A and B are shown apart, each in its own frame.
Chain A
Amino acid sequence: MQILKNRHVAGWLQAAPLTLVLAAFLVLPIATIVTVSFWQATEFSIIPAFSLENYRFLFGSSVTGRVFLATFRYAFLTWALTLAIGFTVAYYLAFHVRSQSWQIALFLLCTIPFWTSNIIRMISWIPFLGRNGIANQMLISWGVVDEPVEWLLYSDFSVILAFVHLYTLFMVVPIFNTMMRIDRSLVEAAYDNGASGWQTLIHVILPLCKPGIMIGTIFVVTLVMGDFITVRFMSGSQRANVGRLISNDISLLQYPSAAATAVVLLCTVLLTIAILLRFVDIRKEL
């Protein structure tokens, strides 16, 4: 029994189920994708022979560059919007709502949609943005436009709108969390020294929120970069990102080609995260 008291043994025993799940359903699948990305495929089967053909095709195609650029653009625009909205909402909740029960209630109201279906939340934009949707009806009745605006649905606009709709809470929660841990006397001190509300926000609160902003950024950027379903659904299959490139290959049973694109996407995402992690120590923030 003495061996169980060893902290390394005890630690690994307790972490064993977790390790098994991650090994079987994360590490092994990624290793398989990397392996298959060097294989080849005919129309009917996969040929397990080493070849760089998939990568040569991927990097030789002009589509790849454009699609990656589109993916970065979606990620950047969504990031900027969710950050602006998420920060404002978190700031309101943390510093302007004074009663704790109101704070909890309003915070919950912001997080509840996270626990409901993304697909349905996407579908629910249709009656709003469609050609005869609420937005167009309103614009026409106000006299802003004479005929229905076409770019509301199935466009970059609707894709980014849906991203912001789905992922703003990933910004609100971590930023709110760091804001609640800010020592209120720092804010008092700023006011006492004559700082305006705006100056306090920019020079005191914003810098102290950096860890929350970074964690939110990691969530939003990785979710948008790895997405394929929002782009497909909200653009009516008229726009592409890397995720759609992969899912198209999958539906054509071109697994090696899908795997190669997946490897490149994975490297891009991990590189982005590695850069972001330089700005925040996640273990310290929990």
Chain B
Amino acid sequence: MERRSTGFWLLTIFFGLFLLFLYGPTITIGILSFQGPGGGLTFPMQGASLHWFRDLFREQAVGDIWGAFRRSFALGLMVMVTTVIVSVMGGLAFRKRFAGSGILFYLIIASLVIPSILVSLGVGLIFNQFGLRVHWASSGFGSQLTWTLPFGLLIMFAVFNRFDKSYEEAARDQGASAWQTIRFVVLPIIAPSLIGVGLFGFTLSYDEFARTLLTAGSYNTLPLEIYGMTTNVTTPVIYALGTLTTAFSLLIIGAFLLAAWAGAKRRARLGSDAGKGV
């Protein structure tokens, strides 16, 4: 093995410290959520117990967190499916320049950079003016899309920029219709990146706070519920909730990554040997 320079080791230490900085706090509250019944928000641990997790399951103790979780989960799925479909269609549209595509592109960038509280405030005001009731599944859903769609579209742009058009031409030469070309050639090729779009769609929605703040209505999503707890809960029960949600997020991320990995393996196994001179 070749000798690594001092620079490499210094950078490795820096990177290690960065990871510690990134994950340290989360691990800390993970540990503290097992605090004994008499323990507080900081170390030392007063024994170890599942006391605070049990507290979470007692309905009155902390408000309607399970209802909030169900709503956040449903909303995450809704946003995920919509983001995938709309992003793919948008990605297909942007492969050719059409009148006004430049404006639409800058609108997507605007959606990414406009402060989220403005979306929240604006959508809230519109619903207010038209006498509609804000609800997480209508106004909340739409507001979150303004955050997830730009990410989905940026991924799709990157995918289609690297897309080999000769596959499509081959399909068309063989007599495939436009729809058949998309359904049987384009979609299977871009399928793995759709997992990525779905991951962004679900997780960004599941964790969104500012955009849902004024648009969720009387039923809170989970991040809103957690934020509400920070102002009036002073026991480690909030750490227990944090640990559970983070564990759930990690589970979802793991499932998406596993799906992407399995897909890649399957394609490698079943892939064509064309052009390899077998």
Contact = CB atoms under 8 A, between A and B. Distances in A.
Interface string B231-270: 0000000110010011001101100010000000000000
Given A25-B145, A130-B41, A33 B121 contact: yes
Contacts of B200: 115
Contacts of A265: 115, 118
B114 A266 contact: yes
B142 A128 contact: no
A286 B154 contact: yes
Interface stretch (A53-61, A88-96, A205-213): A88-96
Given A15-B93, A26-B110, A269-B115, A165 B15 contact: no
Given A113-B26, A115-B249, A119-B227, A282 B99 contact: no
B153 A116 contact: no
Interface string B37-78: 000011100000000000000000000000000000000000
A139 interface: no
B197 interface: no
B90 A258 contact: no
A170 B25 CA distance: 19
Nearest to B256: A115
Interface in A78-103: 85, 88-89, 91-93, 96
B116 A113 contact: no
A89 B99 CA distance: 41
A130 B7 CA distance: 35
A69 interface: no
Contact of B115 (A11, A116, A255, A266): A266
B252 to A, nearest CB: 8
A203 interface: no
Among A218, A229, A233, chain B packs the most CB atoms within 10 A around the CB of: A229
Interface string A213-240: 0000011001001111100010000000
Contacts of B161: 286
A262 B118 contact: yes
9 smallest CB-CB distances across A and B, nearest first, come from A29-B122, A226-B115, A11-B98, A14-B93, A124-B25, A15-B93, A115-B203, A25-B142, A120-B242
29 contacts: A10-B93, A11-B99, A11-B101, A12-B93, A15-B104, A17-B89, A18-B87, A21-B145, A22-B111, A26-B146, A28-B122, A96-B12, A106-B15, A115-B200, A116-B26, A116-B249, A116-B250, A117-B223, A117-B226, A119-B223, A121-B26, A123-B242, A126-B42, A127-B239, A130-B41, A226-B116, A226-B118, A269-B114, A270-B113
Given A14-B90, A93-B15, A110-B18, 14 more contacts: A7-B96, A12-B98, A14-B89, A18-B104, A21-B146, A29-B121, A109-B19, A116-B26, A116-B249, A121-B26, A123-B29, A165-B21, A247-B117, A265-B118
Interface of A: 7-8, 10-19, 21-22, 24-30, 32-33, 36, 85, 88-89, 91-93, 96, 106, 108-110, 112-113, 115-121, 123-128, 130, 132-134, 137, 165, 168, 197, 218-219, 222, 225-229, 233, 243, 246-247, 250, 255, 258-259, 262, 265-266, 269-270, 273, 282-283, 286
